[in-house]
Structure 1
Amino acid sequence: MQNNMETQVRVNLENLQALKPQIQELKQVVGSYIHSVQDSIIKRRTEYQTKLSQLRSTETQLKLEIEMNKKLREQLLEELSSEMRNRDQSSVKYEEMKIQQEDLEKQRGEFNKQLEEIETLIATKIRQINEERDIMKNQTILVNDKLYQFEQLLGLRIEQSFADDDEIDNDETSEGDMITFIFRNIDPKDFSKEASFVFDPMNVKIISSEPPLPEETFTEAIDIFVKTKEIAYLWKYMRSSFQSLLVSSQ
């Protein structure tokens, strides 16, 4: 019995030794992917910091213009008040002063409108930057937290994707921004068969899939992702949709 145990241990060690090249290759693939993700995050962070710096510069300039407009408005109001005080001193100039008063009132209204538009523009740009920053931060955290777990559970592989020109409908999206999620082990009759879909993280949308799924499936998957803020639910829903499609076609 002891000989049998020793033989079994030796066989197990040999099997483990045979798996070492595959384990090393898996480590290299995972390391390469993590490096790619880190490079992408650094690139996006740099772009965000550049945009934020430009926005701050624009904000400073706009604030200076607002301050200048406020001072000009105060000056105009003072001139208006002075003109109004002097108006009664000469009845001959009454009509002329009335016209000037109307012009000044009109200018004041225009300046107020411009100030409101500038303040609204600043608030909108700041909100857009904050929203983009939050989206990138959330997506990075979600992907890093769930990546290894779901690669094992769902037979999932993730690759950087290069979209065709006709698939890109947003000026801010470039080819390197696409991510392809590839599932294995979804067809019980053929475990080597793969299914995949291309995801646009910047615009939060699914571009295409193979085999093709209905557009309604893409919409439902994105709705689930937006509601749950968990990319794991997106993966799970898409994998289930692929399985249903394969079963119905058999």
Structure 2
Amino acid sequence: MIVYEYPFNERIRTLLRLEDLYEKFTFFLNQEHPLQHHVALTTIFDMLEVAGRADLKSDLLQEIERQKQTLMGYRTNPAVQTEMLDAILEELDSVSAALVTLQGKPGQNVRDNEWLMSIRGRTIMPGGACEFDLPSYYAWQQRPFEQRYHDIATWFAPMAPLCNALALLLRLLRNSGAPKKMIANAGSYQQMLQGKVYQMLRLTVDESFGAIPEISANKYMLWVRFTSQGGDCKPKPLEEDVPFELTLCNF
């Protein structure tokens, strides 16, 4: 099964972009080759661009507090497992406390590092990080894996609370909806949302169908059009009925 996600607003879109970059960073950080560590470092630069909004930290703190207040309202519900509820509340308190300690913009320590900024400036250019352009960076890449790993992890560390906070909020968001089985007749599906506000949708489809959803949505209507890929990978309209699962998520 393949899961596709679609954000309904810019805030969730930003969180999903950061989550994607963080997963990419974590993967390449744990690889040993210098070229893989190069990708990990340039991914930090990409995260700086996405997380550059000054209000991102305050947005996350406000959402965490709102989630805490909502969840605390379930304490009197006898159907709620108190141990699980307490664990989530404790996790929210933990990521919130770590986020409060952040000073300045996310990744400000990287912006203040002239050497890293010189690398960032060169990597914007295609092939701009060759050894003759950045001999000091090339020399750093020849260091042992453990030292390179430690350096990159240290540079990233101040951004970790931000990533932990958005990971927890996205997890809560994904768990907020219940999947429903749907059929896209002749590869097309429409649903009226009647003005109800959602943050994100999750669409699950069996990969054996070879169906790729193209999604558009607003607060009034959701539209999904399935396509398929030929040998040239160019999307083509799919005219068959496609069964899929749809989850509408909202805090």
- In the superposition, the TM-score normalised over structure 2's length comes to 0.30
Larger radius of gyration: 1
| Bigger share in helix | 1
